[in-house]
Amino acid sequence: MKTGIALSGGGARGFAHFGVLQALDELGIEINAVSGTSAGSIAGAFYTHGYKPTEALELISKTNLFKIIWPAFSLSGLINMSKSEDVFKKFFKEDTFDNAQIPLQIIATNLNEGRKHVFSSGPLVKAMMASSCIPFIFDPVRIGNEAYVDGGIVNNLPSEVLRGTCDVVIGVSVAPVIRENDLDGPKRMIERISMVSVNANVSASKEYCDILIEPTSLRKYTTFDMKKAHEIYKIGYESAHHYFDTHSDEPAVIKLLNKAKSQPSNSAK
């Protein structure tokens, strides 16, 4: 039985992915395939390339990687993402999908064709940059003759790409949308427009998930709450454990936990 996990975009809320992955490791649930969009692509890349969830959390929060990728807003024009490429390559010196210990698929939006693009081979860092390239803030990431931006525009929870190869699909959505009264300033406005647009396609993606972990308490955090990495991680961790504790009678949960009992624990991962 193969298990896949889809990790959504959500900016700083993506730290919750590491909490969820840590909880799954502790439960002994083996992940056989990963897909990710934007922040989810970053978490997925670290996880599939052998970084422990807690290790990745510390590395990213200490180097303030998300702040480099998503810097403060500027009204002077679009920002080039080349600086983030240099930072990524410090962690992925072998810049290729081929080094992934678990198959990884990264979603970006191809602007030229106006549709989603799935990266699963070739250079890794450019694919991560493309998936994380927020429109209206960054210059599109160019790969060959094509221009790419944030995959969340077309698919913020890429669960369907796992459906054909996985028996159980876990979705982790970290970008819940609630009413927002304070929309003053370009930063809040652009973030709000982005969140509303990506939430529309998440609804369809949820239908492909056997298990959906969607921490509602993440609503109080914004895309740019980089300094709250450990708080957000804890929410993801607790939400995953809570889901498995309270849904123990669901068929998908039963399958995963029974499989975990029948094999050596991977909690040391």
Is 194 assigned a catalytic role? no
pLDDT at 63: 72
Q: Which two tokens stand for residue 212?
A: 């959906």
Residue 108 phi, psi (nearest 5): -135, 170
Maximum CA extent, the chain: 58
Tell me whether strands 168-172 and 146-150 are parallel, antiparallel or unpaired: unpaired
Q: Is residue 38 flagged as an active site residue?
A: yes
Task: Tell me what pLDDT residue 76 has.
Answer: 41
Structural domains of the chain, ranges and CATH numbers in brackets: 3-262 (3.40.1090.10)
Catalytic residue among 38, 41, 131, 173: 38
| DSSP structure class, residue 96 | S
- Distance in angstroms (rounded) separating the CA atoms of residues 10 and 171: 14
Of 235, 230, 249, 217, nearest in space to 54 by CA: 230
Q: Mapping DSSP to helix (H, G, I), strand (E, B) and coil, where does residue 180 land? A: coil
Alpha helices in 49-123 (DSSP H): 53-63, 65-69, 82-91
- Averaged in consecutive runs of 10 residues, what is the pLDDT profile of the chain (269 residues)? 96 94 97 97 97 94 62 49 79 94 98 96 95 82 94 94 96 80 66 69 92 92 84 98 97 96 63
pTM, two decimals, is 0.89
Looking at residue 134, what is its pLDDT? 79
| 49: CB partners within 8 A, 6+ apart | 92, 99, 100, 101, 124
DSSP state of 80: P
Say if residues 101 and 94 touch (Cβ distance below 8 Å).
no
Q: What is the DSSP letter of 146?
A: E
Question: Do 150 and 116 contact (CB within 8 A), yes or no?
Answer: no
Tell the burial category of 36 from Cβ atoms under 10 Å away from its Cβ (0-12, 13-18, 19+): buried
pLDDT at 190: 67
Quick one: which H or E segment has residue 19?
helix 15-26
What is the per-residue pLDDT for 181? 63
CA atoms within 13 A on the CB side of 219: 9
Distances (CA, A) of 186 to 33, 65, 105: 37, 23, 32
Residue of 131, 150, 194, 239 with catalytic role: 150
Amino acid letter, residue 137: I
Element (H, E) at 45: helix 39-48
Amino acid at 182: D
Phi and psi angles of residue 82, each rounded to the nearest 5 degrees, phi first: -60, -30
Which DSSP state fits 121? S
Q: What is the pLDDT of residue 66?
A: 55
**CA nearest to 169, candidates 205, 133, 121, 131:** 205
